[in-house]
Amino acid sequence: MKDIDMIVGPRVPQELLKRERKRFLMPTIFLGTAGLLLLISIFLPYWKLTLYAPQYPNGLVMKVYVNRIEGDVKEIDTLNHYIGMRSLTEAASLERTLSIFMVVAIGLLVIAAIYLHSPAAAVFALPAFFYPFIFLGDLYFWMWNFGTNLDPRAPLSNAIEPFVPPLLGEGKVGQFKTIASWEIGLWVVFLASILILVGLYYHRKAYKPLLEEQLKKEILEK
């Protein structure tokens, strides 16, 4: 079997496809839906932080998308300036620049996995499976970086200890309170991860017998 054939995998005989259409349709449905959800998530917020301060009793809201931050960013930056934290717009600048390209790329890789009838499909789909965990890890890194590297020259630098806001739930920083929540975009990509696992299960169930049959045939021919 040629290298390219090992990647693409065996072809499905038309008579088998007609007889067991559902068997080969299942991985297409799950993997295709997962890839589509990843693409849709680009337009949705992933994470939200609400900050409550004495001068802002109703709270200031910041929403994080894959490529931008929206909401009361200027007001939050003003408060953060007094405790020595850098502007939020400086965080993850490289990630935000490349994010749309990367999400589109991993989404298309999942869709491409539909057309691979071999274990290579898992290699194509796994980056998308790990994507939400990578996003949360990167988000935590930047919160840790900003919260533990405060400018000692700031007016209130001595009043605040280094801190890391939580990824989810309530946190306190001096007189400030923060509430972090996972938004629909993040839940969508977690759903995509689950669909990828299910899709790979049905993919293996559909194509492994064909691959084993083809390998046996080639061994006998030799």
Domain hosting 30: range is 21-214
Assigned domain for 199 exists:
yes
Cross-strand pairs, 179: 50, 170
Total structural domains within the chain: 1
Assigned domain for 16 exists:
no
Per-residue pLDDT of the chain (222 residues; tens, 9 = 90+): 456 667 788 888 889 988 999 999 999 999 999 999 999 999 999 999 999 988 888 999 999 999 999 999 999 999 888 888 899 988 888 999 999 999 999 999 999 999 999 999 999 999 999 999 999 999 999 999 998 988 888 887 777 788 888 999 999 887 888 999 999 999 999 999 999 999 999 999 999 998 888 877 766 666
Q: Which residues contact 33 (CB under 8 A, 6 or more apart)?
A: 192, 195
Comparing CA positions, the residue from 57, 47, 4 lying closest to residue 175 is 57
Q: Angle at the Cα of 90 (from 85 to 95), degrees rounded to 5? A: 135
Give this prediction's pTM.
Answer: 0.90
Comparing CA positions, the residue from 220, 181, 206, 215 lying closest to residue 20 is 206
Assigned domain for 35 exists:
yes
Q: What is the pLDDT of residue 108?
A: 97
Assigned domain for 3 exists:
no
Q: How far is CA 187 from CA 32, 51, 60, 181, in A?
A: 17, 22, 23, 11
Sheet with 56-64: list strands edge to edge.
Answer: 69-71, 56-64, 47-53, 176-182, 169-173
Comparing CA positions, the residue from 30, 41, 53, 32 lying closest to residue 182 is 41
Token pair belonging to 103:
């999400």
Assigned domain for 10 exists:
no
Assigned domain for 222 exists:
no
Token pair belonging to 15:
């008579």
